[in-house]
Amino acid sequence: MSTSFNYKHLYYFWVVAKEGGISRAAEKLDMAVQTVSAQVRELERSLGYALLKPAGRGLVLTEAGLAAMQQADLIFQLGENLPALVRDAVSAPAVRLAVGICDGLPKLVVHRLLLPAMAEPNLRLVCHEGELDDLLGDLALHRLDVVLADRPAPANPNIKLYSHAMGSSTIGWYATSALLKAATQDFPQSLGHVPVLLPSAETAMRDRLDHWFEQRGIRPRIVGEFDDGALLNTFGASGMGVFPSAEWAHDDLLAHYAVQRVGPCAGVTEHFFAIGTEKKVQHPLVQKLLQPAL
């Protein structure tokens, strides 16, 4: 791959931007101020845009400089991680799988979705949780091998992604024994009287639940909303309110939390997707995840 600029020049610019000035950058680099300044000017010449501009007694980034700084951050942060990655690769024969987990996805379901990869004897599993857009950004930068989500990836002409359906589950309502009697009496109308916990409006499930309530003329007594499915389960298990959960993980839910099933959320289904980049060579453990039909 050929480039019209020198990465060493980019590195000097990056240090200047991080240090807030050419003098401080020159001191950090143990170089002459004139040399550092010349290297930055050479980068600007090769890119065709000014990256720095005077501001008072110092320098600030131009719009072009901000764009260049964002890319330089990615490049050199990856470079700083390289020694550790190489050392780990040599010292241990681990098979590393980096998984992004959408924060709205039930964690008990995540565990079951990852079971095919768990059979790898030298597995080194790295899980990152966050919002879908952030995770897809990390996927595009190859910081993640796959993203597990409750919705397919949105269309994006700048990033080629695939969304592989891994299965789906009906939804049920669950509660502690203290709330069970009140919740089961005249269910589901009872959900207008007992405290209810719901996923937040940022999750894919919330619209379906709101529609379910609307169809039945129920105005739920909402006492808590959560982006994270594990937090929803935890507060539900504490007795704060009746809460929905994927019935596919029913046994695990009852085993991990002291709750019981109140009733079905008829017609509401949660879907699970594995999202990856479109490339010819796929991570072998990602291939394993995509093979089983749930």
235-259 confidence digits (pLDDT tens):
999 999 999 999 988 988 898 888 9
Residue 2 lies in a domain: no
Q: Are 161 and 243 part of one and the same domain? A: no
In our burial notation (b when 16+ CB lie closer than 10 A, e otherwise), range 201-212 reads eebbbbebbeeb
Cα separation of 286 and 275, whole Å? 10
Mean pLDDT of the chain: 87
Residue 99, pLDDT > 80, answer yes
The pTM for the full model equals 0.63
Same domain, 77 and 154: no
Number of domains in the chain: 3
Q: Domain for residue 186, yes or no? A: yes
Q: Give yes or no for residue 216 having a pLDDT over 70.
A: yes
Domain presence at residue 1: no
Establish if 16 belongs to a structural domain. Answer: yes
Structure confidence at residue 255 (pLDDT): 87
Structure tokens at 143: 């910081």
Residues 82 and 105 in one domain: no
Q: Phi, psi (5° rounding) for residue 285?
A: -75, -30
Query: What is the mean predicted confidence (pLDDT) over 108-136?
Result: 88
CATH number at residue 257: 3.40.190.10
Please state, in angstroms and rounded to a whole number, the distance separating the CA atoms of residues 59 and 51: 10
Answer yes or no: are the C-beta atoms of 59 and 21 closer than 8 Å: yes
> Does one domain contain both 26 and 76?
yes
Same domain, 280 and 151: yes
Task: Look up the domain containing 49 and give its range.
Answer: 7-88
What is the pLDDT averaged over residues 79-101?
78
Per-residue pLDDT, 4: 63
Q: Which of 88, 122, 142 is the last residue of a domain?
A: 88
Whether 150 maps to a domain, the answer reads: yes
Q: In this structure, is residue 61 part of a structural domain?
A: yes
- Report the half-sphere exposure of 252 (CA within 13 A, side-chain side): 14
Pair (115, 189) in one structural domain: no
Q: Are residues 261 and 278 in the same domain?
A: no
Co-location of 46 and 116 in the same domain: no
**Does any domain span residue 75?**
yes
Please say if the pLDDT value at position 226 is more than 90: yes
